[in-house]
Chains A and B, each alone.
Chain A
Amino acid sequence: AQKVTQAQTEISVVEKEDVTLDCVYETRDTTYYLFWYKQPPSGELVFLIRRNSFDEQNEISGRYSWNFQKSTSSFNFTITASQVVDSAVYFCALRDNYGQNFVFGPGTRLSVLP
């Protein structure tokens, strides 16, 4: 079965701190895609990053970086030098060949305090 778990319900940090959001997934497929989305107070889900199951290379894009480890089924997301505008709910999502739809985790609410 497909499942995405985000154990952190809420996180608060002070501006300029680094913050890591955890994501653990379950799938029976060997080919799958992982995503992070941001949902600011306006409500629209904004795509941030995508990773496929064959590429475990971790990357950095601006202030965002991610750590994908198949051995632990984890896909963690880090924001470096957080800003107040980063305050939002962050969702991890999985898409595989079995279900083809996106399965979302419950989300982590990030509050960045000035």
Chain B
Amino acid sequence: GAGVSQSPRYKVAKRGQDVALRCDPISGHVSLFWYQQALGQGPEFLTYFQNEAQLDKSGLPSDRFFAERPEGSVSTLKIQRTQQEDSAVYLCASSLGWNTEAFFGQGTRLTVV
């Protein structure tokens, strides 16, 4: 596609529910990133893929967070047993290589009630 596509745009989950957020990167982009952005703050790194390999998951806040990119294209961020503090905008980005800029999707706004 022309840009990074994320779905759903908005998600309301009851506390304790599992959620799955999808990211379709720009075709051919090797690198894929997930970020979490709380209101009024900058994006915070969650995890990074190069093709299907998850090279860095140091930003995942707990073992309730899990990300995958099985075929090196579409990625899914899963959050199990959601908590209120998980409420944030989740941003996905892709880049062609390590020395190029990243392009971001519109994000998924997750609200845990």
Q: Do A and B come from one complex?
A: yes
Given contacts A45-B43, A104-B42, A106-B41, contact A95 B98 (CB under 8 A): yes
B104 at the interface (CB under 8 A from A): yes
In the docked arrangement, what's the CA distance between A50 and B35, Å?
19
Across-interface contacts of B100 in A (CB, < 8 A): 50
Distance of A77 from chain B, by nearest CB (Å): 14
The contact of B102 among A43, A102, A105, by CB within 8 Å, is A102
Flag A73-114 by CB within 8 Å of B: 1 or 0 each.
000000000000000000100010101111111110000000
B25 in the interface (beta carbon within 8 A): no
Judge whether A33 is part of the interface by a CB distance below 8 angstroms: yes
Known: A47-B103, A91-B42. 13 other contacts (CB 8 A): A35-B101, A43-B89, A43-B107, A44-B104, A45-B93, A45-B104, A99-B56, A100-B56, A101-B33, A101-B45, A101-B48, A101-B56, A101-B59
